[in-house]
A and B are shown apart, each in its own frame.
Chain A
Amino acid sequence: MSIDSVSNAEATPDVDLPFAELGLKDDEYGRIREILGRRPTSCELAMYSVMWSEHCSYKSSRKHLRQFGEKVPPQAREILLVGMGENAGVVDIGQGYAVTFKAESHNHPSYVEPYQGAATGVGGIVRDILTMGARPVGVMDSLRFGPADAPDTHRVLPGVVAGIGGYGNCLGLPNVGGEVAFDPSYYGNPLVNALSVGVMRTDGIKLATAPGPGNKVILFGARTGGDGIGGASVLASATFEAEGERKRPAVQVGDPFAEKVLIECCLEIFAEDLVAGIQDLGAAGLSCATSELASAGTGGMRVVLDTVPLRDPTLAPEEILMSESQERMCAIVEPAKVQRFMEICAKWDVTATVIGEVTDSGRLQIFWRDELVVDVPPRTVAHEGPVYDRPIARPADLDALNADDASALARPSSAPELRETLLRLVSSPNLADKSWVTDQYDRYVLGNTALAMPDDAGVIRVDETTNLGIALALDGNGRYTRLDPYAGAQLALAEAYRNVAASGARPVAITDCLNFGSPEDPEVMWQFTEAIRGIADGCFTLGIPVTGGNVSFYNQTGSTPINPTPVVGVLGVIDDVARRLSIGFKADGDEIYLLGETHDEFGGSEWAHVVHAHLGGRPPAVDLAAEQRLAGLLVEAAARRALASAHDISDGGLAQALVESCLRGGVGAAVTLAGDPFVALFSESSARAVVSVSKADAEGFSQLASQHGVALTRLGVVGGSELEVAGQFAVPLADLRAASTGVFPAIFG
């Protein structure tokens, strides 16, 4: 077996390497040769191919993502401790605490192998949070599937939910919210987006950097195996024909117990200030960790690959470099601190190995069996990959789609029809009760969960003495974005922002997960650029910075892309978690108010989708100034304890919000609607919420609303055991509950 060393590469310049099979284009391969001044070794090719992939290099999106850095609201300077580009952004929440949070997609693995795909999605995002120096304190997930009753959804959804639960529960992280939605466009390509959040002291932030020549590079955590290698097997078998064809699982396999131990081990190491830099091993494994650490530090690193502890001793060096085995971390440690570092790893039975050291050579040099197999400038691997300016074209069908307005659809006109429509929507999979899913997640562990699903946001206590806490909401709407990606992305942002405010927390920052079709399709690329522009402009207007996120392209079935689906996670701060607001109505006699203005807006609505299987027209109008006024009102009212409940109005309109507030509180309501009752009940106009207020607080709240410039309409009172719409219909709570809670068990068992 020969080793394709650097000297061998120099001696055999004409050897053909399977760069195309590894996903590199001719000109990309040419550039690698130019950088190195020779052909790459097979190990170098492995590193470049995986680091220059769309997933790792953001080569199609980078040009557009710059907007997030250019349209930074002035508020960002006050609260952003670490911005985009690190593993996750870090936000100052006061009292010496910093919060880091990020969402990431694991769509394709979750389709291939739902349980492990979703499980390792959770594991990966939690390691990103841990890497920043934070204790992970919660997770959330945004899930999208094909139609609920479609056969493959029965394979994918239960596996995904069990995987998220199996990993997150075993990790001891409360799952505090998220979303589950269905649409035919996700049938061959479900979306599994996971968010994690962590807390640290502001002086405890860690970065992915390798400073200081002589400092040791320590790989710790799980041993390296052959999982998640994907394309590298091609390379290995091409180079080492004698070993024959290798079949490796393309989807990584998670071990949540190993990650739980790794978390505790890392936190103890951080507490003793033993690392100069740290990076988790996720996509592209050691290739990514070594090249990113080296390029952010002194600039050079020397690694002896033979020292990497292996689960499978037959792995080739290319495979070791590309392996995506989970639950691994790479730390940079001063020599004097190595012993203590190793002691803590031993305490937790975590395998830790010095695999190299930082150098000032400006080169990343990797050795295998005493031969130099990689000798590259690390920045060329990690940061200087290709950047594409992909062609952009507004979808040819968009005008026709926008012209196909929902106003032409037949509407319920009689009271019995309205009642029937309400029940049909309540029992549709997108709006039905999700406890079949969320009951599979532990929401109590760590003992700081002040609010969780089905409330509007997850609220987590950060400080047990002062009651300082955070709120998180994660939202998206692919139908709106299909109709208008700029507005749709802003509506996702506005919904998550509103949800956080409805819980009583002040929105301060966002993360996003951008799920789109192929960037090589100009129409998809147009959707993508419009959505980014929408989020960047929206965040600038709302005064909340983008802290980081993730782009997932190639979400399509055949050549049909998914509905473009930007999912936005908003972080809020709440000074006293005891003042958080649930969506549930509380007490008989409380007054119910609608906040905001309702217009006749049904484009992309849940009603059009469920009743008419229709997608056309325009999504609801975006009014970010109105969102800001509404949020300002909700946050101040919550802080003054002026509200009994608050619930954002979104999918399904006021009707769905009322049903959810009744069911959550276990109490009925009687409301009177002005104007067209169909529009009042089912329109999805944005910047609205439904709140309940005790009689004693009603007058004061009404004044507060007027001070904030928020339209307030009295709807009725809390009480009884049915939802009654005066002059129209009444439905017993028991019927609503049965309609809502029966759906998932009936479909998924």
Chain B
Amino acid sequence: MKLRKSILVKSIPSLLLGCFLLLGMLWGCEDFVDVDLPNNQLTGEVVFQNPSTVDAALANIYAELRDESPFKGNIDGMSYLLGHYADEFDLHNPSLSNVGYFYENNLLATDTNVDNWWTASYTLIYAINRIIEGVGASDTLLDTDKDRFLGEAHFLRALLHFYLYQLYGEIPYVESSDYTVNTNIQRNEIDHVHQRMVDDLKRAKDLLTMETGNTLRPNYWVASALLARTYLYQGQWELAQTEAVDLIDHGGYALALDVGEVFLGDSPETLWHLGPISDGINTREAFTFVFETTPPPNSALSPFLIADFEENDARFNAWVGSVSDGEDTWYYPYKYKETAPTDRTEEYSILFRLAEVYLIAAEASIQLDRLSEGLYYLNAIRSRAGLVPLAGGDKNSLLSAVEQERRIELFSEQGHRFFDLKRTGRASGVLGPIKDNWEATDALLPIPESELLLNPNLSPQNEGY
């Protein structure tokens, strides 16, 4: 026993020494667990100190608009799907079931595209709000840079909300990046959404340049064009007319003389188009719409649309392509023609062009009973298409003429047709007879079910779903 004690006693000093060494090491190097940032990330603070990183943050939003938003030119973008949802396209490929649900007006609240459009839009709105907050708080950015960044951000916020409310009806207008607020956010009434959009667009106009050189980024006039469209959709004819006419008169844009030039990269009537992922790439629209074999591998333009073209409309030759097997002929949108890459990018996806502003001016003027003024703007579009100018008519017939002109001029572009039928209250009248499943409640898409599950404040679901 004595022996063991002595061993024990002897070992105590070394044990204690060991303990102290170990503990000393631990307390001495707590910063061992400090690690550097990963090489692919910057802190939020750093991003807003430097104009080039803010520019990169904005560039990402444009890239996402092109690749991951409702604006994309794929078979899951608005141009294609809303074209099927209304009366622009017929679906020929039964395996595209997601397109089929749009084509058959048979959407469920669990629909993938319904969910993706919503989610992608709000994801971008978050990024936009971060820019608005970050740039606003930055003390190192120059005022000129700040104006441009904030102007573009306010414009983009209005743009995304514009389509959200067109698609889903009353939606939350999200103006903060604070998730604690946005988690339980409620749907805003249309008047509120509208007012917030007008505010954002006016702010954007204040901040953005009127220079028209860079059509890859929105400027003052693009904000103005969206503002004119917003007023038009709300029936604020006077404001819409003033805004549109101001753009036509002072924007420095001109209608392309030849309809064949409208969708080229250097078209004089382009207000804003989206740049490609890399130089030489052309639009996804061409890739999606154009086909060369029969029967159509995916979709073709509907016979209703083809029938609505007037004879000798130059746009039919320039903008509609066709394939025939000798018996039947199928048509496709041929506004964008380059399906493959070229040396330099030839065509860009256009989001705003002057022709639409002319049609806004025409419609608003007619609504204000300034029929001759309306005819002037309407005939500018008709003449350019090689059609005989309309001589006149009563208000209703002229409004019908505007609807017809918008159908032809803007077909397969960003769901214009569907939104026009909706805002004029003609959706059920036009689509009801030709689409078996059409119901009045189909004017709005369902709120994605996952959103309702996560935020009960978004309830109730839109009617009919």
Q: Do A and B bind each other?
A: no
A interface residues (Cβ-Cβ under 8 A, vs B): none
B interface residues (Cβ-Cβ under 8 A, vs A): none
